[in-house]
Amino acid sequence: MELLSPREVATFALSLLDLTNLRDDCDATAIEQLCRKAQSPSGATAAICIWPRFVAQARGLLGPGNQVRIATVVNFPSGDLPVEQVVAETTAAIADGADEIDLVIPYRAFLAGDDAAVTTMVEAVRAACPHACLKVILETGELKDSGRIRQASGLAIAAGADFIKTSTGKVQVNATLEAADIMLQAIRDSRKKVGFKPAGGISTVADADLYLRLAETIMGRDWLMPSTFRFGASSLLDDILAVISGSPSARVSTGY
């Protein structure tokens, strides 16, 4: 891998960032702030990721042609909602102006041996948003076992995922390099154009660099672009902007 300076890594990570606010206390004022932060003087993030109830507001703030895409979450964070309800959530979010849907698989059903629950859910939501980017959240910290992570990755890819994503950020263990390695290998072996999104706990440019290096090792440098790689994070932007301005990145705080 070519050696990039911290500032170059930060600038690249900015273009790959899904700037996220999925806090329980998120409100309209927070969404206004998020939309402003996503369009920084140093560059725009790839997307914002927000609760469905704020999609219409964000679309009004960003406008129809804005380069910052609007992602929202469905079946989130529990993964336990009925398929019909998740489809209704998806349809409403698209109508409100969402560009991307981040869907939690029914991971508890999957852990209980019900592979079909994953396939049915992903296929139904895929059909409900045929033109949107569909990111499928596996909740790898709950799956834990490498074989289950690999199996869930394959099910999601086969059912039509545009991305597979590690985590909701709402459980004890979120993105890890181990899970990322398994998921990236599943994408490579599928030979399909599927992206990868590590999310949860990635808060520094140094952290981001670890994931970028891993993805490049498995998928190649040319694969790293917003259409195939995103970071899901709420606090990473602060460190990105600090590094771009010339401050040192905070030390690595996550990863393994």
For 103, phi then psi, to 5°, come to: -105, 130
| Among 197, 207, 209, 239, the one annotated catalytic | 197
| Among 102, 207, 209, 239, the one annotated catalytic | 102
Q: Is there a contact between 210 and 175 (Cβ–Cβ < 8 Å)?
A: no
Q: Is there a contact between 163 and 230 (Cβ–Cβ < 8 Å)?
A: yes
102 given a catalytic annotation? yes
Q: How far is Cα 208 from Cα 26, in angstroms, rounded to an integer?
A: 25
User: Strand pairing of 39-40 and 195-197?
Assistant: unpaired
| Among 18, 165, 209, 239, the one annotated catalytic | 165
CA 87 to chain centre: 19
Q: How far is Cα 148 from Cα 168, in angstroms, rounded to an integer?
A: 17
Catalytic machinery residues: 102, 165, 197
